[in-house]
Amino acid sequence: MNASFDLWRPVLRSAVIAAAVLVSGNHAMAESPDPYADETPAQRDARMGWWRDAKFGMFIHWGVYAVPAGTYEGKRIGGIGEWIMRRAEIPVDTYRGYAREFNPVHYDPAAWADLARQAGMKYVVITSKHHDGFALYDSKVTDWDVVDATPYGRDLLKPLVEAVKERGLKMGFYYSQAQDWTHPGGGKAGMKEGEGWDEKHKGDFDRYLETIAYPQTKEILSRYELDVLWWDTPTWMNEKRAAKLIPLLELRPGIIHNNRLGGGFKGDTDTPEQHIPATGIPGRDWEVCMTMNDTWGYKSYDDHWKPTGDLIRKLSDIVSKGGNFLLNIGPKADGTIPAESIERLREVGRWMDVNGEAIYATTASPFARLAWGRCTTKADAGGGALYLHVFDWPADGKLKVPGLRSKVSSASLLDGGAELEVQAVDNGVEITVPAEAPDENVSIIKLNYAGGLEVVNALPRQEKDGSIRLGAVEADIHNRGYSKQARVERKDGPPNIGFWEDPGAWLQWTFRVDKPGKFRVMAETATTAGGVRLLVESGGRKIEAGISRTQGYGDYSTKELAVVELTSAGEHKLALRPVGKGWHPVNLRKVVLVPVEP
Ligand code: FHN
């Protein structure tokens, strides 16, 4: 029993009582929607401590869907592999037939756990049951599980939990508490309660919860030494239904659960999927889950692999914003892991061996943004360290850290430890770096500082002529998951925002105004179609404007989009959002606010 257990236990107990009352009576759940609502900050910090330090985890989506691997009746089924049953509306009996071919004879849980450890991951979360309802362990409430329905006939989870724990990592189970496309009455996304595509789906959802979801949650929590319970898709859930699952958490004191239970329960962690929140999620613990290609469950023909460098930069980006990274693998039906995933994880692991100090147990960057990369920090008694994650190595051998006012006592490369010269300049510090970057993706410079950490975040502000220049690197890029991610591109010329293909993605700048007044919003853009429109939001106004078609994505033109009035001196924001209909990808270099009367 550890210290965090003791701190945490009374809190959960009161939450359990609250939940029990809510289940039996008609009290409004709003009184205590969060089972840890009464937790003190110290109790919460103790409970979340290992998770906050871990930063990097392995997600595993594995199940019967790895047999069809994306193809049904000779057709490639679009979307994510583990959704094949839902998307192709495969009849229950046909889908159950795949279980007879699910025989992971090459499954090697020790090798899986080794791979996670070598990659630098500190925890593993595996699908104990996904939306197809198939359990990877021997469930006593159904025969739709690996022991009863497959030739393999053995629990897949127990040896993995053991292997993971033996290596000192933490263990989590994903559990689809509401969606279930096999058992009668189970939830189905995009359908009304009670609907399905097969006679076998007929049944009552509450009965489904009573006979499958609640007992299975109890099974996994009581049988396995879990540190995380990862709920997913609260289809058809409500407060009353979700509240019945909360008391079961008592079976694993200290367990961390996410925000996807439904019924208003916020859980411990937010879980942005397939995208990195532009400015993190202040005030919440959060974890980005992401695939290495475009699917969670194995799809034989998904070759859209992210390069290792991209994965490492994503890790830096997420951690610099205060989050964790849960990176997925989708093993095959024979128990092997796709070679592309293994290769990438080993490469990430080699980077972590050298640079892990800049990841583990760090806190978010104190800088609003740094043009060349990201930053993480660690404080200690007399000062602390800043880890500069350099994506774009300076060509002139000088790395500038604008706004850093702390007293820097030393600077060194994490790779090899070479000391670097550092000097205070006008607006921060400047580090003299070798001509070659130690790492082609992310090189880490460690700055030790004495005393307190002092950073003055300089916002873009008015120049002598009164104009305000808002460049691509100054923008907060708000992406959504499951679509192309808009990002800063550095080709020839000034950086631009590119891959702005999703009409749901939007940009925002924060800047300072010293001399209020009216400003013309001038945007420098490139797009190859006519009729593309943007919504400008600033100074309390929303103005729609068209942008000019150009000869290509490297051919920019500048156009006035709107006139906005910024009536006070101080901090202001300007956002640009695609106007959905007729959206066509746009490259954007900068926006300049030009005073109407200089
Ligand atoms: O529907 C699932 C999906 O299959 C996958 O498991 C992801 C992982 O976060 N969660 C759901 C979609 O949000």
The pLDDT assigned to 34 comes to 60
Centre of ligand 1 from the C-alpha of residue 98, in Å: 21
Q: At what angle do helices 339-355 and 308-320 cross, to 10 degrees?
A: 50
Query: For the chain, what is the largest distance between any 2 Cα atoms, rounded to a whole number of angstroms?
Result: 79
User: Are residues 109 and 159 in contact, defined by beta-carbon separation less than 8 angstroms?
Assistant: yes
User: Are residues 119 and 353 in contact, defined by beta-carbon separation less than 8 angstroms?
Assistant: no
pTM for the complete prediction? 0.92
Atom of ligand 1 nearest to the CA of 83: 4
Q: Does the CB atom of residue 287 touch ligand 1 within 6 A? A: no
CB atoms within 10 A of CB 389: 28
Q: Does the CB atom of residue 288 touch ligand 1 within 6 A? A: no
Q: Which residue has 């007879």 as its token pair?
A: 100
Q: Which residue has 């690197």 as its token pair?
A: 473
Atom of ligand 1 nearest to the CA of 481: 13
The pLDDT assigned to 598 comes to 66
pLDDT digits (tens, 9 = 90+) for 7-62: 223 233 333 323 333 333 333 344 444 667 788 999 999 999 999 999 999 999 99
**Average pLDDT, consecutive stretches of 10 residues, N- to C-terminus, the chain (598 residues):** 28 33 35 67 97 98 98 98 98 98 98 98 99 98 98 98 98 98 98 97 98 98 98 97 94 96 95 97 97 98 97 98 98 98 98 98 96 95 95 96 95 97 94 98 97 92 96 95 91 91 97 96 97 94 95 96 96 95 94 92
Centre of ligand 1 from the C-alpha of residue 232, in Å: 7
Residue with the smallest CA separation from ligand 1 atom 10 is 232
Q: Does the CB atom of residue 296 touch ligand 1 within 6 A? A: yes
Residue with the smallest CA separation from ligand 1 atom 5 is 296
Q: Which long-range contacts (CB under 8 A, 24 or more apart) does 460-463 make?
A: 460/509, 460/511, 460/512, 461/511, 461/512, 461/513, 461/514, 462/512, 462/513, 462/514, 462/515
Angstrom distance (rounded) from CA 548 to CA 529: 8
User: Are residues 525 and 589 in contact, defined by beta-carbon separation less than 8 angstroms?
Assistant: yes
Q: Does the CB atom of residue 132 touch ligand 1 within 6 A? A: no
Pocket test for ligand 1, best of 62, 77, 80, 298 (most atoms within 8 A of CB): 80
Q: Does the CB atom of residue 145 touch ligand 1 within 6 A? A: no
Q: Does the CB atom of residue 126 touch ligand 1 within 6 A? A: no
Which domains does the chain carry? 39-358 (3.20.20.80), 373-450 (2.60.40.1180), 468-595 (2.60.120.260)
CB atoms within 10 A of CB 559: 14
pLDDT digits (tens, 9 = 90+) for 285-304: 999 999 999 999 999 999 99
Pocket test for ligand 1, best of 136, 273, 329 (most atoms within 8 A of CB): 273
String of DSSP letters for 311-332: HHHHHHHHHHTT-EEEEEE---
Centre of ligand 1 from the C-alpha of residue 174, in Å: 10
Q: List the one residue out of 280, 245, 250, 274 whose CA is nearest residue 260.
A: 245
Pocket test for ligand 1, best of 85, 233, 291 (most atoms within 8 A of CB): 233
Atom of ligand 1 nearest to the CA of 82: 4
The pLDDT assigned to 35 comes to 65
